[in-house]
Amino acid sequence: MPILTNPLVSVVMPAFNSEKYVGEAIESILSQTFKDFEFIVVNDGSTDGTTEIVDSFKRRDSRIRLYHQSKCGVASAMNLGCDSAKGKYIARMDSDDISLPRRLSAQVALLEKNPRIGICGTWMQRFCANAIELRKFPTEPDIIHCLLPFQFPLASASIMFRRELLARAGIRYRSTVGTTDDYLFVVECSKHCLVTSVAEALYRYRIHAAQVTETSRDQNRKFAGRIRLCQLTELGLNPAENELAVHDALAEWRMVGDPEFIECAEKWLVKIRNANAYSQIYSQAGFEKVLSDYWFAVCTRNTRLGLWTFNKYVGSSLSKISTRRATRKSKLMAKCLVRHQ
């Protein structure tokens, strides 16, 4: 395959001690139905056979470019790859995952058709030796933007983004936030463009004990909490310790609690809604839908309190936002009645 001087897509893949899986990851990119790409692999100080495996593919396909750095982490490797990229679009890839054949073509088609969209992920399959789980993500840009103060609503390593965002907005991957660097990257980009996902599972995310997200779980929770707090501060909020604890519980879906927790959750969601009504950082309609969904989730997870939970739900202004009020009300009532009896 000849070297492309002006490829439409630059695939950037950091790799550290990935000899077990990196060959499969590379094959998945070389087997894409979309061919107009360069493939930048950044060896992040590997001490195993990763470099030799990448070199063997590089000799077969001249679209592969291999860079080396001492062990600095994924964020640094992504920045080196992005700085070297020539494509109009940059596609993120992890060295232990698999991109399904139509991934690049579907993302390019969406970005070419929608110039206001700057970042596009895909749905994904989480897989291990004996199980596969489909993970769907929101596709509406407004909803994705409104979810960011709570969670990262994308499959991180599946994203493709416009390279010009980096120069125009001065955005970089940040090594100060561990493996939540993708989360912060998308938060910063979302201030300059719309974000969406292709409603098709085009990325396969491998679950294994050695992956960084598994070995640094507690640290990454802290980093994600900091990213959420920064967004709350931009809303004009200075949350008290108990409010921040409630927000983290909502973000991490730790919603089972006593009546005091439920009342605190309602007050906090109303406070966030009012803050955005004043600051208008997020679409108010989209933000209210997201808050309504969280309020319904809180109440659904606490039906063991019986009719108290149902009365609390219907008495809140948050329950009146949803377009599915009647359906939600009947479902919640049925569950609460069973517990009450």
Place of tokens 């396909």: 61
**pLDDT number for residue 211:** 60
What kind and span of H or E run contains 243?
helix 241-251
Cα separation of 116 and 118, whole Å? 6
Cα separation of 210 and 214, whole Å? 7
Cα separation of 254 and 340, whole Å? 23
Q: Where are the domains of the chain?
A: 9-217, 238-340
**Beta strand pairing status for 37-44 and 64-69?**
parallel
169-181 burial: b if 16+ Cβ within 10 Å, else e: eebbbbeebbbbb
Can you give the length of the chain in residues?
A: 341
Residue 120: strand, helix, or coil: strand
**pLDDT number for residue 175:** 86
Cα separation of 125 and 67, whole Å? 29
**pLDDT number for residue 217:** 80
**pLDDT number for residue 322:** 73
- Paired tokens of 330: 């009947």
- Paired tokens of 177: 């936030």
Residues of the chain with pLDDT under 50: none
What kind and span of H or E run contains 308?
helix 307-314
Cα separation of 256 and 302, whole Å? 6
CATH H-level superfamily of 9-217: Spore Coat Polysaccharide Biosynthesis Protein SpsA; Chain A (3.90.550.10)
**pLDDT number for residue 4:** 58
Q: Are 59 and 53 in contact (CB under 8 A)?
A: no
**pLDDT number for residue 321:** 82
**pLDDT number for residue 226:** 95
